[in-house]
A and B are shown apart, each in its own frame.
Chain A
Amino acid sequence: MVIGNLLRRDLAILLPGGTRGSAFLPLIFFLLVAVLFPFAVGPEPGLLARTGGGVLWVAALLASILPLDRLVAADREAGVFDQLALRGISEEVAMTARLVAHWLSFGPLILIATLPAAALLSLSSATFWRLFISLLAGTPGLAAIGLITAALLASLRSGTALAGLMLAPIAVPLVIFGAGHLARDDISGALFAGAFSLVLCAIAPFAAAAAIRAARD
């Protein structure tokens, strides 16, 4: 099973304990924001509870930029995609595996970290669950945008710096719906974020594959 082999390799590289060794960076960044924010705005619980969820959503978005550095560029430089193409394995298949591995490398960690982060910002348990659900719906979309961005910038030398600039505008709808879910009583915000994520995840392997092919010229 080709995609299983690719996924196995991608996970070995990207997951915590993997060979590229930056898997904990998004988690640490996410928790750092939760620690620093009360210092910056003051420890008043009401204010933190009102603003904390949105802050954590932005922190999750920014944290998802951190692994983009070598997500696609390293394999492009090593010629891995060329060798896969020679074996008739399309870039789309490779990018599908990469998308799954990329989300698994930071999504679950951030979801788990939501619990201590919510405690640090004294979020109510209702808000915590809303944040958890909306991040669960939104982080696959962040992974998809990240993959497209990383593939587009793989051939540029200063790609990482640009990744943040390119990713943020496309991710705005995710933040609006995801963080909007925190303020409303119904589930519509999370559903919209989830729908946006699904669309992005469906597009991402094709867009990223096209970017890799275009970079060959």
Chain B
Amino acid sequence: MQASALTARELFCRRGDRLLFGGIDLSLESGEALHLVGPNGIGKSSLLQILAGLRRPAFAPEMIPANRGRGSVNWQGSVGLIDERPALDEDAPLAKALGFWARVDNNEATSTDAAMDATGLTMLAAVPVRFLSTGQRKRAAFARLLIQGPDHWLLDEPLNGLDSDGVSLVERLIADRRAAGGAVIVASHQAISLPGCQIVDVRDHPW
């Protein structure tokens, strides 16, 4: 079964006065992966935020006469995002901080304990989030993502600070998600194994 997980058309992005990129079209089938590449500051994170619906595509009436001057993003299913901020309460113990999201997501399938187990954080359940290292925070963000259980994943530099175990863990989680029919978009400077992925270089899409 091949359903189109993501259809994005004519995405333009502007930060302040700077025109970052333009005319990006993306199309992902379920189970596919996409690797976003490009130098720092080219707008990879902005593109992920647009795809997550947190930022509107820039208004570019001269480029897109149709659709009232703005690009569009359409997902089939729910979307989760991991960026550089884990969105966990710094002062709370890890289990409690994740527990908040478990209640918000009300997801019975993946409990907080199971998510911490899957990301190798069980030993740290009682440790306040502010004491976690960069790599442990990244694992905690993945635990939060597993608790949320969205269909599709947007990952902004998912390998930052992770040790080699962590890297293979993330690669395995991504492979599992894709096997379950999810689309995964990764922006990463580090080498990451994404078998059969599309590669989009943001440099190829100037405004």
Residues of chain A at the chain B interface (Cβ within 8 Å): 2, 5-6, 8-9, 13, 19-20, 74, 77-80, 82-87, 89, 216-217
Contact = CB atoms under 8 A, between A and B. Distances in A.
Contacts of B91: 13, 19-20
B105 interface: yes
B104 A2 contact: yes
Given A20-B91, A77-B85, A79-B86, A216 B104 contact: no
Most buried by B among A79, A89, A216: A79
A32 B103 CA distance: 40
A217 B46 CA distance: 9
Contacts of B100: 5, 9
A179 B175 CA distance: 65
Nearest to B100: A9
Nearest to B145: A83
B80 interface: yes
Contacts, number: 57
A96 B104 CA distance: 16
Given A83-B144, A87-B105, 17 more contacts: A5-B103, A6-B104, A8-B103, A13-B91, A19-B91, A20-B91, A74-B90, A78-B85, A78-B87, A78-B88, A82-B49, A82-B52, A82-B83, A82-B85, A82-B87, A83-B87, A85-B54
Contacts of B80: 86
Most buried by B among A20, A86, A216: A86
A5 B104 contact: yes
Contact of B104 (A78, A82, A89): A89
Nearest to A12: B92
Interface in B79-135: 79-81, 83, 85-92, 100-101, 103-105
B30 interface: no
A9 B101 CA distance: 10
B205 interface: no
Contacts of A80: 87
Interface residues of B, number: 26
A86 B104 contact: no
B79 to A, nearest CB: 6
Contacts of B88: 78
A2 B104 CA distance: 6
30 contacts: A2-B104, A5-B100, A6-B104, A8-B103, A9-B89, A9-B100, A13-B89, A19-B91, A19-B92, A77-B85, A78-B85, A78-B87, A78-B88, A78-B89, A78-B90, A82-B49, A82-B52, A82-B54, A83-B87, A84-B104, A85-B54, A86-B53, A86-B54, A86-B79, A86-B81, A87-B104, A89-B104, A216-B49, A216-B54, A216-B55
A82 B89 CA distance: 14
A85 B103 contact: no
Contacts of B104: 2, 5-6, 84, 87, 89
B148 interface: yes
